[in-house]
Structure 1
């Protein structure tokens, strides 16, 4: 399996190839013309150099390649005894015309690259402002977060997470806004603002979700929605969850058993109150010292390798058995990127909760059954 560093090296190699391609093409044409003699006219093929020049680089580089093509055409015309002939003039006109077209393409490409960089920069800054650092330790819980952005175009996603201490325990949300770009970031901002306020005030998790629904229904239109898992961890070692169409959290017991904390009945995502459907029923999960719960977005489980196979999260859960939650999540993130062996097509957010007892020696003891 190829690591993420090797994927970046592959991108650099592709860039170097595109950078060298114009010079290589003109070199090949020059060698072929020198070997074939004046009987065959290859001079116009020198325009391949300027034609490929617009793929990468600056306007100045494109002009330089065009000038090199013109100079080579003149030198080869002298060598072939064709200087001043129709073939010589024709090759010069073709190279000049292709160079002009390549200049226009280079200017357009650079403008699009600047616009894309600006949009992506704004969206990434907005996400960093929204997704504040979570507390590393809350009560008996240790918390770690990992966020890997998709690298394709400006497709900044709407993945979101937050950890808040509420009146009856620690409250957590992990969600995913439908769509990409700044609109998705705006919707994520609405969800997070509503959650941060409601998590401090509402006496139970259903009250929090009701506040989220109201905030979203004032904003969303049509088929927009947000999948999410809301969670409350009590001091008695129980987790209460509400699942709004989101992937089920992964539970890794201290004894190594792995299962998914799935609700008995599925519920539609947040923001679909216009359908007049009932929300999810709360369900409870035992969470004892040594247990870990991984909440994540669909960018994790829908990540595909070059053969089209989804990331096998349950099979890779053993990577979470690390001394610290941060190191555990980093090991899982590195493995996810290596599985894809390319830039991710969707953002991947992960939030790991690890339960300790009254002291850290409780880590590693056997856990109770999953549900009940």
Structure 2
């Protein structure tokens, strides 16, 4: 509409007539990008009416004016068709996105803000933003053996990676309830992947458990080390004492994962993440310094900490990540926080 008005104003001021009238066809052509067929038709009719009026005013020969009006009619009809096809594609895309969101909610179930004794926050970004789902995985479930969780990264992207992530999460959720030993949970996942994955496929993962107050168990299978934040301050990486291969590759290396036991007192926090975070680069190809970022933004509210971290990460890469990225932060409320800690412990006891 603005373009049509601009052409009219220029024609009125300059009196050039035929020189400017063909530009009125740009009105319905551009309107097809944002409007439906009815809106395009209205703009086309307006442009045609204005063209006829200005042509008669400027004394444009009838033959030339008829050619301009015919061109306007053709552009309007073509734009109506384009608008209708665009609308249909947008509806199909919306349906696909709704299916992808449903699949993501089934695969990566929403994590509540409190699970057992923990305050929890999760941030997930898929590289394929249109699909809103990717190959990173996480789950946190209360079990008879305490709260157990997994954060992992499937080799590759796209639907094959999503299928592998679904397999890992399904086995983990089942084994976490059945197996008293955390290493047995990891063994169940390894055997399932060995039966179902190809020779070049694997999953890096950290599996953790909180069987009793103050005791955190960690099994690292080729994944980035979690970051531990003590109540007293400072961020430290939990490097595996005995490095183990990723899930799905044990048969090739013969190495088996080991169980690390860490003290995890009130007020302590642990951040688990995938390599989409640590390998995110800015325009100068500099990696995002996650440990420093966590130290800057750590607070007593995991959701606020992750929101600040995620915003800083996006600013670092210029607004869009090029790999799937997951962040999961756990915190044991300090004893001085009273009602929060007591309600969380009560919920844990019920589980």
The normalised TM-score by structure 1 is 0.76
Counterpart Cα distance in 1 of 2:39 and 2:17: 33
Q: 2:38 aligns with which of 52, 60, 63?
A: 60
How far 1:346 moved relative to its partner? Answer: 5.2
Closer/same/farther in 2, CA of residues 26 and 357 from structure 1, 3 Å limit? closer
Instruction: Pick which of 290-299 and 70-79 moved more.
Output: 290-299
Mark the runs of 5 or more structure 1 residues left unpaired by the alignment: 1-22, 364-372
Mark the runs of 5 or more structure 2 residues left unpaired by the alignment: 341-351
Counterpart Cα distance in 1 of 2:67 and 2:258: 78
How far 1:320 moved relative to its partner? Answer: 5.4
Superposed counterparts of 1:100-115, under 5 Å: 100-115=77-92
Counterpart Cα distance in 1 of 2:222 and 2:51: 65
Counterpart Cα distance in 2 of 1:34 and 1:187: 66
Counterpart Cα distance in 2 of 1:327 and 1:59: 45
Superposed counterparts of 1:137-176, under 5 Å: 137-138=115-116, 141-150=117-126, 152-165=129-142, 169-176=146-153
Contact 2:115 2:142 in 1 (8 A): no
SS in 2 for 1:157: coil
Q: Which residue of 1 aligns with 2:63?
A: 85
Contact 1:250 1:294 in 2 (8 A): yes
Instruction: Pick which of 310-319 and 246-255 moved more.
Output: 310-319
Contact 1:251 1:293 in 2 (8 A): yes
How far 1:296 moved relative to its partner? Answer: 2.0
Q: 1:316 aligns with which of 268, 290, 293?
A: 293
Q: Which residue of 2 aligns with 1:257?
A: 234
Counterpart Cα distance in 1 of 2:38 and 2:246: 52
Please say if 1:286 is aligned against 2:262: yes
| Number of aligned residue pairs | 336
Q: 2:204 aligns with which of 209, 227, 231?
A: 227
Please say if 1:121 is aligned against 2:98: yes
Please say if 1:44 is aligned against 2:5: no
Contact 1:159 1:297 in 2 (8 A): yes
SS in 1 for 2:186: helix
How far 1:288 moved relative to its partner? Answer: 3.4
Contact 1:242 1:280 in 2 (8 A): no
Contact 2:121 2:330 in 1 (8 A): no
Tell me the C-alpha RMSD between the 2 structures.
3.4
Q: 1:325 aligns with which of 299, 302, 305?
A: 302
Contact 1:178 1:224 in 2 (8 A): yes
Counterpart Cα distance in 1 of 2:201 and 2:308: 33
How far 1:144 moved relative to its partner? Answer: 0.6
Instruction: Pick which of 222-231 and 298-307 moved more.
Output: 298-307
Please say if 1:277 is aligned against 2:242: no
SS in 1 for 2:171: helix
Contact 1:319 1:328 in 2 (8 A): no
Please say if 1:35 is aligned against 2:13: yes
Counterpart Cα distance in 2 of 1:283 and 1:74: 83
Q: Which residue of 2 aligns with 1:240?
A: 217
Contact 1:238 1:284 in 2 (8 A): no
Counterpart Cα distance in 2 of 1:281 and 1:69: 72
For residues 306-363 of structure 1, what are the alpha-carbon distances to aligned partners after superposition, in whole Å with 9 as ceiling and x for unaligned?
77765432222146543343444444445545656646555543222223577758x9
SS in 2 for 1:263: coil
For residues 61-91 of structure 1, what are the alpha-carbon distances to aligned partners after superposition, in whole Å with 9 as ceiling and x for unaligned?
11112212211211221121115132x1222
SS in 1 for 2:264: coil
Q: 2:274 aligns with which of 287, 297, 303?
A: 297
Closer/same/farther in 2, CA of residues 287 and 115 from structure 1, 3 Å limit? farther
Closer/same/farther in 2, CA of residues 271 and 52 from structure 1, 3 Å limit? farther
Closer/same/farther in 2, CA of residues 60 and 309 from structure 1, 3 Å limit? farther
Q: Which residue of 1 aligns with 2:349?
A: none
Instruction: Pick which of 227-236 and 122-131 moved more.
Output: 227-236
Q: 1:213 aligns with which of 190, 199, 203?
A: 190
Closer/same/farther in 2, CA of residues 82 and 343 from structure 1, 3 Å limit? same
